[in-house]
Structure 1
Amino acid sequence: MKNTFLALTVTAGSAWADPVVFPFDGSFDDATFAVESAIVDKGLVIDFVSHVGEMLNRTGEDVGSSAKVFDNADIFLFCSAVLSREVMEADPMNIQHCPYGIFVTERDGEVLIGYRTYPDGPMQKVQTLLGDIVTEAVGN
């Protein structure tokens, strides 16, 4: 029996919408602590923290770039068993959105907290969860 693989490619426009971003009044370290606390306060477990800023700063010269993209940048990755099951039961291809991420960046002294936007439908429940977490983290 022959296995067939079908690849779909988006060719027109961007597949991702602009992220939702909030300014944070405080240091990068305070922002990462606030995000971590807000995630844990929702009863969620952080699976991984990606230190994107460190990686970019460390590898810039190796890839022929002297540009400093971020002073600091981390992405907190996590899932919600309840919401993930719900959105994947609605459409198994919602697996592409898991794990969920909230990023914290610092550039030129400006600290931002944000997350990507999700498509209409069941994934809006995840976007609401991310919005609640970020709102708690920025103190609104």
Structure 2
Amino acid sequence: MKSTLLKTTLLALSLGLCAPAMAEERDGYVSYTIEADFEDVYFDLQDAIITQGLVVDHIGNVDDMLARTSDTVGGSSPYLHAKYLQFCSATLTHEAVQADPNNLAVCPYVVFAYETSSNPGTVVTGYRIPTLGSSPETVAVFAKVRALMDSIVQEAVGE
């Protein structure tokens, strides 16, 4: 009996350490907040892109850039870690630009992850919401792009 109670208590405590991510949609982007190690979430974000058969075209090291330029511009960085990843889906980009050549403006897609100095251990990850044009074809393809980015970010936070 004591063994079962101990196992149940340990399981409950371990599940509490991995709190589920909380989603938030704001003007122009969606973000998920999770209590986790930044490097783990960042690795999972990259892995989720690759798992979709996509290639990360560019990694933006915002944290490094802000640290490097803080003396020059007289600012300071709120981040312990901050990165973004750019990638594109050839299939969805073809579909988007066939609907409207101006839809090229949405490519590349960007997902991000950061951890602030004021809240270490809390990682925010998300993506910009693709919006451009209002034709039914454009709306349909951007719904697919958004679903792709959301699935990538959700995979990274374990949703």
Report TM bin, short chain: 0.7 to 0.9
TM-superposed deviation, 1:60: 1.1
How many corresponding residue pairs? 124
Q: What's the CA shift for 1:53?
A: 1.3
How far residue 18 of structure 1 moved from its aligned partner, in angstroms, is: 3.3
Matched, 1:47 2:57: yes
Verify: 1:93 aligned to 2:130, yes or no. no
Superposed CA RMSD in Å reads 1.5
Deviation by residue 1:106-125 (Cα, 9 ceiling, x = unmatched): 11212111001122603221
- Alpha-carbon distance in 2 for matches of 1:76, 1:17: 20
Q: 2:145 aligns with which of 126, 130, 133?
A: 126
Name stretches of at least 5 consecutive residues in structure 2 with no aligned partner: 1-25
SS of structure 2 residue aligned to 1:74: strand
The answer to whether the Cα contact below 8 Å between 2:63 and 2:80 also exists between their aligned partners in 1 is yes
Matches within 5 A, 1:33-112: 33-65=43-75, 67-107=76-116, 108-109=119-120, 110-112=122-124
Identity of aligned residues (%): 37
- Where does structure 1 lack aligned partners over 5 or more consecutive residues? 1-15
Aligned structure 1 segments of 4 or more residues deviating by more than 6 angstroms: none
| Paired letter, 2:73 | V
Normalized per residue, which structure has more helix?
2
Counterpart code for 2:144: K
Tell me the TM-score normalised to structure 1 length. 0.83
Q: What secondary structure does 2:78 align onto?
A: coil
